[in-house]
């Protein structure tokens, strides 16, 4: 049997690569604007193309994971990500860039729901919640790695070489994933029809959690994909904006680790409420900041609270569905979230072209986060269903 740390390290690479890809794209966007003379709206569309692919990837891979097993699907998503990133380094124009990003998004969108489902299958109770938050904490390490690549490689060698560097890490992750625990593939008779997900007992939590994923992803991608560009709008050079973004990214880690620690103290619903409230306050500060110190503090607070909320939501979601349909339900919820992730970057670009200021954009995010807080309070129950609702073979459960 795999030790918890071993399994966490292997599965955590899914979050690492997803974050590394999103972060690198955010650093590349200001360079693409100059190289291909793009408007803010066009730049927002570039950012949105990955999320469009993720919408398809999340649903398709979640369903495939329930049908054929978690391991082969997780391996396939990494292969697709690696090959498409290699092709991206040779993109001749913005059209090809967006097409390749769409394919990349299919792989990335499939990784996270399958990775979360795999962890949820192997743990239960508080341990499950903690492992899911710690798995999601690899997202912060992905941002940090991407920030270092952008800060050290991109100014000297350009964005194409920076993208190529990610393939080295992808090869290492592929070797790691070869050691994922084997699982029993469900027989045809034991596979749940897709319609099981929309039964009343599953539909209500699916709708509430999907709406929360929609808002969390819209605000996250709208904020962080544009963060280096927003900093340059405020007068920072591209190199300085990369440095500040790296500092803000490091602040994600204590946000995750505090959430994991709190799982043994208070309910996930309360933790989620605290982190959403912190994100709202940080958004207000960042949107109205007019000094370097305030921008850095507010940006670090955004990283701390927004990613802590994301981690808590990923700890809350998969356990609310039985193992038989967990991958499918997680894929649907994150797919709807990816719709928000698609809208977020494009919406910000459109608002900037429409001369809506930074404070106006962040004011919109605050309103959406308040809606998410209301859904959490009135529409989400902090309960996990029993895995024995499924007739399929169980993965070994690790006791807390």
What's the pLDDT tens digit per position in 42-55?
A: 877 887 788 789 88
pLDDT above 50 (res 92): yes
Q: Is residue 184 part of a domain?
A: no
DSSP state of 245: H
Q: CA-to-CA distance for 226 and 350, rounded, in angstroms?
A: 12
Domain with 222, as residue range(s), is 4-179+199-382
Take residue 116 and report the two structure tokens written for it: 């979360």
Q: Which two tokens stand for residue 333?
A: 């919820």
For the domain that residue 260 is a member of, what is the CATH number?
1.20.1250.20
- Residue 67 pLDDT grade (very low, low, confident, very high; cuts 50, 70, 90): confident
Separation CA 142–CA 146 (nearest Å):
6
In a domain, 243, yes or no: yes
Local confidence band at 39 (pLDDT 50, 70, 90 cut-offs): confident
pTM of the full structure: 0.80
Cβ–Cβ < 8 Å for 316, 269: yes
pLDDT, one tens digit per residue, over 291-342 is 778 878 888 898 899 989 999 999 999 888 888 888 888 889 989 998 988 8
| Coil, helix or strand at residue 66 | helix
Q: What is the pLDDT of residue 4?
A: 64
**Does residue 98 lie within any of the structural domains?**
yes
46 in Cβ contact with 94 (< 8 Å): yes
Note the Cα 360 to chain centre separation in Å: 25
pLDDT beyond 60 at 187? no
Q: Is 368 part of a structural domain of the chain?
A: yes
What are 123's strand-pairing partners? 398
Residue 389 is assigned to a structural domain of this protein: no
- Domain presence at residue 193: no
Determine contact, residues 321/384, Cβ cutoff 8 Å.
Answer: no
Q: Assign 171 to helix, strand or coil.
A: helix
73 CB-near residues (< 8 Å, 6+ apart): 61, 64, 65, 110, 114
Furthest-apart CA pair in the chain: how many Å?
Answer: 62
Number of domains in the chain: 1
Residue 327 lies in a domain: yes
**Residue 104 located in a structural domain:** yes
Of the spans 78-82, 235-239, 336-340, which averages the highest pLDDT?
A: 336-340
Residue 267 binned pLDDT confidence (cut-offs 50, 70, 90): very high
């Amino acid at each position: 049997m795999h030790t918890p740390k071993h399994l966490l390290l292997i599965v955590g690479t899914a979050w690492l690569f997803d974050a590394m890809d999103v972060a690198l794209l955010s650093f590349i966007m200001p360079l693409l604007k100059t190289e291909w003379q793009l408007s803010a709206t066009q730049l927002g569309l570039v950012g949105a193309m990955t999320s469009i692919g993720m919408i398809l990837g999340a649903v398709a891979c979640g369903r495939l994971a329930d049908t054929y097993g978690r391991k082969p699907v997780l391996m396939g998503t990494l292969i697709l990500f690696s090959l498409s990133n290699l092709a991206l380094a040779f993109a001749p124009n913005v059209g090809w860039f967006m097409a390749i990003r769409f394919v990349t998004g299919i792989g990335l969108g499939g990784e996270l729901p399958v990775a979360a489902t795999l962890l949820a299958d192997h743990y239960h109770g508080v341990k499950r919640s903690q492992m899911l938050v710690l798995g999601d904490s690899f997202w912060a390490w992905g941002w940090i790695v991407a920030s270092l690549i952008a800060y050290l490689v991109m100014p000297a060698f350009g964005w194409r070489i920076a993208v190529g560097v990610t393939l080295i890490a992808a090869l290492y992750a592929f070797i790691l994933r070869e050691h994922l625990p084997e699982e029993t593939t469900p027989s045809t008779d034991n596979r749940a029809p897709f319609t099981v997900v929309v039964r009343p007992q599953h539909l209500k939590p699916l709708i509430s959690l999907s709406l929360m994923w929609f808002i969390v992803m819209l605000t996250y991608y709208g904020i962080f994909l544009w963060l280096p560009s927003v900093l340059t709008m405020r007068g920072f050079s591209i190199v300085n904006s990369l440095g500040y973004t790296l500092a803000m990214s490091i602040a994600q880690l204590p946000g995750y680790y505090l959430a994991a620690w709190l799982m043994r103290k208070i309910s996930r619903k309360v933790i989620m409420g605290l982190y959403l409230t912190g994100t709202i306050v940080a958004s207000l500060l960042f949107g109205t900041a007019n000094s370097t110190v305030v921008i850095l503090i507010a940006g670090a607070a955004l990283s701390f609270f927004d990613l802590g909320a994301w981690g808590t939501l990923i700890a809350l979601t998969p356990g609310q569905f039985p193992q038989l349909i967990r991958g499918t339900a997680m894929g649907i919820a994150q797919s709807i979230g990816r719709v928000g992730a698609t809208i977020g970057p494009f919406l910000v670009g459109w608002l900037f072209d429409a001369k809506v200021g930074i404070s106006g954009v962040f004011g919109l995010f605050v309103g959406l986060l308040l809606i998410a807080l209301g859904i959490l309070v009135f529409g989400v129950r902090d309960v996990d269903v029993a895995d024995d609702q499924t007739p399929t073979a169980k993965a070994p459960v690790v006791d807390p």
